[in-house]
Amino acid sequence: MKRREYVLVFGAVLIAAFVSVTQPAFAGDGNAFEGHKFPELKYAFNALEPYIDAQTMEIHYTRHHKAYYTNFMTAAEGTDLLKTPMEQIFANMSKHSATIRNNGGGFYNHNFFWENLSPSKQEIPAGLKNAIEKDLGSFDAFKEAFTKAAMTRFGSGWAWLSVDKNGKLFVSSTANQDNPLMDVVEAQGTPILGLDVWEHAYYLKYQNKRADYVTGFWNIIDWSVVEARYKAALAK
């Protein structure tokens, strides 16, 4: 090889090495975690109307959710928690403070909630629908169980559809900002759909009528996200 060719080959190797280092790692790759980030919303504040109004969305996201994030980051400052994915923190929740539990849960649960909402009504994918029918009886039985979980949660909390350690779907609810990933909750598993039933999620539009808010939720579920989470949970 002539000198000029050496330079070209060496240059190409350097560029290839640079590209491989700067490419973001694949999602789900354990090495990809780069710290806890407050997420962007993938739709406008008014995109979920009439089911969730713009003012509720704006206050919920910019104040409530942001406060959980800020309080979590403040409490985690100077600790390994800053370098630990939330799922791992939740698996050891019993070892951490109530501040980490409440604010880490609030930070994560809202990320999770925004992701499983969609401005356009979607049909549930056949594969996920079949799984729900197999594990929960029928789609209507699932809706009924989920609605009951949302309605009977006294005070503040969440309703969930999750996958248990045997790959079976189940419905549950948790108090406050707990979620099924936490080692402190009764029904543990991998959540794939979540609904916030704190009053701050619906009070401006629905006041005390939580049932109307829960009914509206079925029109704004991003089933493609739920299905992707289901597949990922089964692959774990």
Site stretch for Mn ion (CB under 5 A), options 35-43, 50-58, 118-126, 200-208:
200-208
| Smallest distance from Mn ion to CB 201, Å | 5
Q: Which stretch binds Mn ion (CB under 5 A): 5-13, 150-158, 188-196, 214-222?
A: 188-196
Nearer to Mn ion, 107 or 230 (CB): 107
Q: 116 and 43 in contact (C-beta within 8 Å)?
A: no
How many residues interact with Mn ion (rule CB under 5 A)?
3
Q: Is 178 in the site for Mn ion (CB under 5 A)?
A: no
Query: Binding to Mn ion by residue 202, rule CB under 5 A?
Result: no
Q: Yes or no: say if 139 and 124 are a contact pair by the CB < 8 Å rule.
A: yes
227 binds Mn ion (CB under 5 A): no
Q: Is 198 in the site for Mn ion (CB under 5 A)?
A: yes
Closest residue by Cα to residue 151 from 219, 214, 207: 214
Rounded-to-integer distance, Cα 124 and Cα 73, Å = 36
C-alpha of 72 from chain center: 16
- If one counts every other C-beta atom within 10 angstroms of the C-beta of residue 117, the result is 21
Out of 178, 196, 222, 227, point to the residue binding Mn ion (CB under 5 A). Answer: 196
Q: Is 45 in the site for Mn ion (CB under 5 A)?
A: no
Q: Does 158 bind Mn ion (CB under 5 A)?
A: no
Continuous H helices in 64-158: 66-76, 86-91, 98-115, 126-136, 139-152
Q: What's the Cα-to-Cα distance from 51 to each of 9, 18, 197, 216, rounded to whole Å?
A: 59, 47, 14, 5
Q: Which residue is nearest to Mn ion (CB)?
A: 196
108 scored as a contact of Mn ion (CB under 5 A) = no
Q: Is 142 in the site for Mn ion (CB under 5 A)?
A: no
Minimum CB separation of residue 53 from Mn ion in Å reads 14
128/226 Cα distance (integer angstroms): 8
Q: Which residues bind Mn ion (CB under 5 A)?
A: 196, 198, 201
